[in-house]
Structure 1
Amino acid sequence: MLGGATPALLPAAQADAAPLGRVCLFQDQQGAKGAGHVAWAIRDPKNSSHWIWGATENAGGDSYTAPGRNNGSWIKGGTWTQLRGSISLTTYDYYRCISTASGNLRAAQQTYGRMKSNGYAVLTNNCLTKSLAIFRSYSPALTSAYLPDGKYKSPNYYFTTSLNNARGWEKARTY
């Protein structure tokens, strides 16, 4: 661990040189009637060429989906090249990432499993809040200074304003 008792976040250049943790958030600016939509991706810290990614698509299109009903969550795995070519991510406009000193892929997958079945609520349990929960379980170093709360925020506002004000996030890149 770097920087004391909490795992440190690392600049992108250092993270690319070693198999460390990395999370990315993808933005679809036109999703959800202009409020935006996000998807997530995390890198396997033990195998830097392997990623898992997914999203919650709000299958019913309603502002609320009861727990246990289909909320449109999905997950895939593969290389960064496969992620970039994924049909499920073709509507996204931008992405931005942050690297961490470590990551727990299994904890993130378990959180995804809970998020997949815990319903949907447009302001408090949506594509954004589910992505953030997966990121936080993957790396406890992603505290609120690095990963602000997403409740009551539109995905577009969060992706631009909240992450611009958070520590460590790379600038948005065209997807």
Structure 2
Amino acid sequence: MNRSMTRKHRTLLTLLTAVLTATAAPMVAPGTAEATTGGRACLFLDKEGARIAGRTYGHVAWAIRDPKNTNHWIWGATEGYKGKLHIAAGDYNGSWIKGGTWDGLRRSIKRDGRHRAGYYDAYRCINTASGDLKAAQRTYNNMKDNGYDIGFNNCLTKSIAIFRKYSPSLSNKHLPDGRGVPPRNYFATTLDHARGWEKARTY
């Protein structure tokens, strides 16, 4: 074997070693990559919610993750009260908020397997580079007593406002306006055409 061939083999061996070393790096365990993505916002759908005059508009709840502690979430919803289409500011509008782990969230937002109002059928999420829980909580506190309107100040519009304060990166391209849109349509159709949202999944 001549010197030229020896040099070529050495070069090939060096390249092969570099490739093998790179591909031999430990794989990220399932779930770890998601845990390091920072912020995360999720919308939960109750298909049977808001049944009015023979039509079902659907109901949604919101959830956001602490980017500094990915095992901590806060979540909530505005559920209205006694089927009223409009609730004046200052009157009870069924708003609530909770905090805890993802498992605690899933126990709180009960899964529906029988098409029952008050139980949730599916959820879908979007990752964000960061998230501000305090800003989101302030927004919730500002809105919890500002009334309710079936089309323009409801479970969906309040969720969107909370998401946008949580992460300003959730612009209209990622999070379209929800006023006048039935929550079940927004969840199933509008978010299909918005950027970054994962497909709906059951839990």
Structure 1 residue aligned with 2:47: 29
- 1:174 and 2:202 correspond: yes
Equivalent residue number for residue 52 of structure 1: 74
Task: Give the aligned partner of residue 168 of structure 2.
Answer: 140
Aligned to 2:36: 18
**Greater mean deviation of Cα atoms: 162-171 or 56-65:** 56-65
- Structure 2 CA distance, aligned partners of 1:27 and 1:115? 20
Deviation of 1:46 after TM superposition, in Å, equals 1.0
Quote how far apart the aligned CAs of 1:14 are.
Answer: 8.4
| Structure 1 unaligned residues grouped into runs of 5+ | 1-12
CA distance in 1, matches of 2:99, 2:91: 24
* Runs of 4+ in structure 1 over 6 Å off: none
- SS of the equivalent of 2:75 reads strand
**AA of the residue aligned to 1:23:** A
Distance in 1 (alpha carbons) for counterparts of 2:37 and 2:166: 15
Identity, in percent, stands at 62
Q: Does 1:129 align with 2:157?
A: yes
1:161 corresponds to which residue? 189
Maintained 8 Å contact 2:35/2:70? no
* TM-score, structure 2 as length reference: 0.77
Question: SS of 1:134's equivalent?
Answer: helix
So what's the TM-score if we normalise by structure 1? Answer: 0.89
Query: Are the counterparts in 1 of residues 37 and 129 from structure 2 also a CA contact under 8 Å?
Result: no
Residues 112 and 174 of structure 1: CA distance in aligned 2, closer, same or farther (over 3 Å): same
Q: How many positions carry a matched residue from both structures?
A: 162
- Give the number of the structure with larger relative contact order, counting CA–CA contacts within 8 Å between residues 6 or more apart: 1
CA-based RMSD of the aligned residues comes to 1.4
Distance in 2 (CA, whole Å) between partners of 1:174 and 1:52 is: 19
Q: Is 1:97 aligned to residue 125 of structure 2? A: yes
Superposed CA deviations along residues 109-149 of structure 1, whole A, max 9, x for unmatched, are 00000110110011000000000000000000000000000
**Shift in Å at residue 19 of structure 1?**
5.4
Q: Which of structures 1 and 2 has the bigger CA Rg?
A: 2
Paired AA for residue 127 in structure 1: C
1: CA distance, partners of 2:202 / 2:35: 22
Letter paired with 1:75: I
CA distance in 2, matches of 1:55, 1:76: 10
SS at match of 2:45: strand
Distance 1:112-1:81 versus aligned 2 partners, 3 A rule: same
Determine the C-alpha separation between the residues in 1 that align with 2:67 and 2:90. Answer: 31
